[in-house]
Structure 1
Amino acid sequence: MIRKYVVTIDSNKYEVEVEENGVVKSNKEVVVAAPVVASAPAVAPAPTAPASAAPAAPVAVPADGNKVTSPLPGTLLKLVAKQGATVAEGDLLCVIEAMKMENEIRSPYNGTVTSVIASEGAMLNAGDVILVIA
């Protein structure tokens, strides 16, 4: 027999189904002290795009230079490297937000930022060019 219970944790209510195995130890209330592990809700709300974010039109990428591309889909949260800036391998170029995580994108090359293709707030797909270093 399956029984349904409502459990409240930190003011959040959860419906729990428990299958009985036929063995009843006692009818007493049991308090279990265990660490609380945060988990994602069963149904995540649909992401909403910021009002200022419009579909990006294809941008011409310069043929010369080393392209720095997005390794994952997400939003370009912060663009640190500006056009004309000198960067060294390992320098922070930008921050991409994906699934509420901030991912730092660092320079794989030494050189000068010759072209910035994406702008802050832009929605990126994996492989989209962010900037070019020569």
Structure 2
Amino acid sequence: MKKYRVNVNGSLYEIEIEEMAAPAKMSAAAPAAAPAAAPAAAPAPAGAGAQVKAPMPGTILDVKVQAGQSVKKGDVLVILEAMKMENEICAPSDGKITGVNVRKGDSVETQALLCTIA
């Protein structure tokens, strides 16, 4: 057994992992290693106004707004998938979208800037 200390979102956990013997023979159907992900393109600079940030890490499934678009409080801005659930990220106030910093398929961390509203 190997012991590790892991920090997950600021909480410290101690875990034990059992080492297992390697299989004697790998089958041809064994899954191949995933290819390395291409580096993400740098997002456009944030616009002026209130920042709308990701409440949790996940993947952007859809971006419902674009820069210059007017929105009302509660309008869906982005759909964020986290833990196999779709989460609608809504406008916190009426205004105009001054910047969109994510694209469909982007992976984001907690507090990543999604868009700005002025």
Unaligned runs of 5+ residues in structure 1 are 1-48
Q: Which residue of 2 aligns with 1:68?
A: 52
Q: Find the aligned partners of 1:54 and 1:89 in 2 and give their Cα distance.
A: 36
Q: Which has the higher contact order (CA 8 A, sep 6+)?
A: 2
Q: 1:86 aligns with which of 51, 70, 73?
A: 70
Q: Which has the larger radius of gyration?
A: 1
Unaligned runs of 5+ residues in structure 2 are 1-33
Q: Which residue of 2 aligns with 1:121?
A: 105
Q: 1:110 aligns with which of 94, 99, 110?
A: 94
Q: Find the aligned partners of 1:83 and 1:104 in 2 and give their Cα distance.
A: 18
- Runs ≥4 residues deviating over 6 A: none
Q: Find the aligned partners of 2:50 and 2:41 in 1 and give their Cα distance.
A: 21
Deviation of 1:83 after TM superposition, in Å, equals 1.3
One-letter code aligned to 1:122: D
Equivalenced residues, count: 83
One-letter code aligned to 1:77: L
2:46–2:100 CA contact under 8 A, matched in 1: no
Matched residues, percent identical?
A: 41
Q: Which residue of 2 aligns with 1:133?
A: 117
SS in 1 for 2:104: coil
SS in 2 for 1:109: coil
